[in-house]
């Protein structure tokens, strides 16, 4: 069943004008809450935006992508504290946040909701619009809503497994 959600998930860029029910939104957020994080730090804060006027005001800050204004929910994922130091190189908070959002996208897909990861945004403008403090940088934004079937999406091609996986040792 999880593999079905993975196969069926795509980046939705056309949404119906239909609200997301509170119980469905709660399940999507719960999937994020249950996501693993380094040392269980859960270094995120999610700002859930459902106000239509606020969502429309965020379109400019999200690269002017007009479809964002159709989404019934925007989840703005902010870093909240330090994450586990991964490999003595990376702040795990960014990775932990993306894991949480990915759990949310799959939960949404399993309930016939659509999502789109948004990475083209002006973090300063988003923080100003949502009163997010400077110590909580915006990591990613997730658009959420019911996909508009009048705009079907073709599956994006994926590389074959043999190009992505090597066994025992790295092979270029």
Query: Could you read off the pLDDT of 148-164 as tens digits, one per residue?
Result: 988 878 778 899 999 99
For residue 154, what are its two tokens? 């073709």
Q: Indicate whether 118 belongs to any domain.
A: yes
Mean pLDDT of the chain: 95
What residues contact 147, with CB distance under 8 A and at least 6 apart? 12, 14, 15, 16, 112, 113, 114, 153
Asked if residues 41 and 84 have their Cβ atoms less than 8 Å apart, the reply is yes
Q: Indicate whether 108 belongs to any domain.
A: yes
| Tally of structural domains, the chain | 1
Q: Indicate whether 121 belongs to any domain.
A: yes
Q: Indicate whether 60 belongs to any domain.
A: yes
Cα 9 to Cα 121: distance, rounded to the nearest angstrom: 22
CATH (domain of 88)? 3.40.109.10
Instruction: Residue 129: give the domain boundaries.
Output: 2-150
Q: Between the CA of residue 64 and those of 69, 129, 141, what are the distances in Å? A: 9, 15, 14
For residue 75, what are its two tokens? 């989840």
Cα 146 to Cα 18: distance, rounded to the nearest angstrom: 7
Query: How does pLDDT run across 19-47, given as a tens digit for each residue?
Result: 999 999 999 999 999 999 999 999 999 99
Q: What phi-psi label fits residue 41: left (phi over 0), alpha (psi between -120 and 50 degrees) or beta? A: alpha
Query: How does pLDDT run across 77-116, given as a tens digit for each residue?
Result: 999 988 888 888 888 999 999 999 999 999 999 999 999 9
Q: Indicate whether 30 belongs to any domain.
A: yes
Q: Indicate whether 158 belongs to any domain.
A: no
The owner of tokens 């658009």 is 143
Residue 82: its pLDDT value, please?
85
**Taken in order 116, 2, 20, 149, is the CA torsion positive or negative?**
positive
Residue 19: its pLDDT value, please?
98
Cα 113 to Cα 145: distance, rounded to the nearest angstrom: 6
Q: Indicate whether 165 belongs to any domain.
A: no
Asked if residues 101 and 77 have their Cβ atoms less than 8 Å apart, the reply is yes
């Amino acid at each position: 069943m999880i593999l079905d959600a993975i196969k069926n998930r795509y980046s939705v860029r056309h949404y119906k004008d239909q609200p997301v029910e509170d119980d469905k939104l709660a399940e999507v957020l719960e999937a994020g809450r249950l996501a693993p994080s380094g040392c269980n730090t859960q270094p995120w804060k999610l700002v859930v935006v459902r106000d239509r006027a606020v969502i429309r005001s965020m379109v400019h800050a999200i690269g002017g992508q007009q479809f964002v204004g159709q989404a019934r929910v925007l989840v703005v994922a902010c870093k909240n504290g330090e994450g586990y130091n991964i490999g003595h190189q990376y702040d795990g908070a960014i990775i932990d946040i993306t894991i949480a959002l990915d759990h949310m996208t799959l939960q949404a897909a399993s309930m016939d909701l659509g999502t789109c990861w948004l990475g083209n945004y002006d973090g300063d403008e988003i923080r100003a619009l949502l009163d997010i403090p400077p110590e909580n940088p915006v990591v990613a934004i997730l658009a959420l809503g019911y996909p508009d079937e009048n705009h079907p999406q073709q599956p994006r091609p994926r590389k074959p497994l043999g190009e992505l996986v090597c066994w025992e040792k790295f092979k270029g």
